[in-house]
Amino acid sequence: MGKYTAIDDPSAHFQVETYTGAGQNTSVTFSGNSDLKPDWLWLKNRTADYAHAAFDSNRNLGSAVNAPFLEPNDTTVENSNQNWWNSTNNGINTDGFQFGSVSEHNLNNLGSEYVAWAWKCNGGTTSSLSNTGPDSVVQLNSDAKFVIGTYTGNGSNSNVKHGLGETPDLLIVKRRNVSTGSWAVWHKDLTSAYWLRLDADVGQASGVWDGLDPNSEKFFISGGSSNVNISGSDYVFYAFKSVQGYSKFGKYYGNGNADGPFVHTGFKPAFVLYKKLSAEDWVILDNKRDPFNTAETRLKPNKNKADNTALSDLMDFTSNGFKLRSSSATINSNNTDYIYWAFAENPFVTSTGIPTTAR
């Protein structure tokens, strides 16, 4: 019998951290594995209604004090006009990140509370993939099965090599240089070749992917779609594959009851993002904003709102998945499909047979 998981320490690849803004020279150190230098860093002000901000090392995170960011809650153009990072290390440490002397884009306001979600890829080291369609520049974390990539659209029905080496379970694409083009999300449990908008509360729809699902080499892009393929426009993408004991991309079926379904992930979650397949908000819950059950402190990727703790969307994080504790339409409508993606705090059982504990 093989190992239950190849990743005994999920915090080597993904971590959640909270911090309090100081207005200047704020250093945030991850509390998990000390060798997680973030390649995709997603920050949100929890205290006030400010935009989400997402950085990655394909787009100079760790290489420039004004590394460009995108806002997951809207279609805004990539912004690199602000020097938020500490100049001695361009803001990125081997175990966290560090702001400079000024507060920019409300990521380090004095006294405000924040959350950071951080993924490790390949330290910003990329390779180029030649293609009959647009060439891509990718970095791969082969253990966590995570790719960050960029490409330039050609305007024709085409394809892009993703570099994952397996068919993704989740794919996210965003136009960078023009403020039209939504965050296009493909998930393996959507209707075939459908997509969702990360920046909106709308349901799944056809289009964007040229009528095709990704395969083990490529994903497909519709020519002329502002979301994925305008000629000369620059795009960034993120691709994931589930890893036993570390990550899971799946769906569940709501029952409309406060005694909601249990969803088996094979690990104790650190992070769960879910979305109804019809019109409804996206929601993120995590183990740092709610270290004890039930998890109820919500942030919505499609909105700039602060933390919401109204008792409507409730979830227990268990040793091997999550249990819904609400009949709210956002999380558990009767006879309704939801997709989710989740990352682990601990695998249910390590490769040496050590089980995790419940919260």
Of residues 309 and 340, more confidently modeled:
340
Q: Where are the domains of the chain?
A: 1-125, 127-240, 247-347
Mean pLDDT of 341-345: 97
Name the fold adopted by 127-240: Immunoglobulin-like (2.60.40)
For the stretch 254-295, pLDDT in tens is 999 999 999 999 999 999 999 999 999 999 999 999 999 999
Residue type, 48: A
* Average pLDDT along the chain: 93
Q: How confident is the model at residue 171 (pLDDT cuts 50, 70, 90)?
A: very high
Please state the φ and ψ torsions of residue 236, each to the nearest 5 degrees. -120, 145
d(CA 162, CA 152): 13
pLDDT in tens, 108-149: 999 999 999 999 999 999 999 999 999 999 999 999 999 999
Q: What is the pLDDT of residue 1?
A: 41
d(CA 32, CA 117): 12
Find out whether 272 and 264 touch, Cβ atoms under 8 Å. Answer: no
**What is the C-alpha separation between 57 and 63, in angstroms, rounded?**
8
**Stretch among 37-51, 96-110, 134-148 having the lowest mean pLDDT:** 96-110
Q: What is the 3-state secondary structure (H, E, C) of 160-229?
A: EECCCCCCCCEEEEEECCCCCCCCEEEECCCCCCCEEECCCCCCCECCCCCCCCCCCCEEEECCCCCCCC
Cβ-contact 86, 102 below 8 angstroms = no
CA distance 236 to 138: 10
The pLDDT assigned to 90 comes to 84
Residue 103 has pLDDT above 70, yes or no: no
Structure-token pair, residue 346 = 């601990």
CA dist list (Å): 167 to 55, 70, 189, 195, 217? 25, 26, 13, 16, 7
Q: What is the pLDDT at residue 104? A: 60
Number of H helices, E strands in the chain: 1, 23
pLDDT score of 139: 98
CA distance 289 to 180: 33
**Predicted confidence band of residue 69 (pLDDT cuts 50, 70, 90):** very high
Which of the listed ranges 77-86, 277-286, 348-357 does the model predict with the highest average pLDDT? 277-286
Band of residue 352 on the pLDDT scale cut at 50, 70, 90: confident
Closest to 244 measured CA to CA, from 56, 26, 62, 1:
1
Task: Round to whole Å and give the CA distance between 223 and 344.
Answer: 37
Residue 195 has pLDDT above 50, yes or no: yes
Span 233-262, average pLDDT: 97
- At residue 102, the pLDDT reads 65
Pull the structure tokens for residue 108: 């380090």
For residue 338, how many C-alpha atoms fall within 13 Å in the half-sphere facing its CB? 30
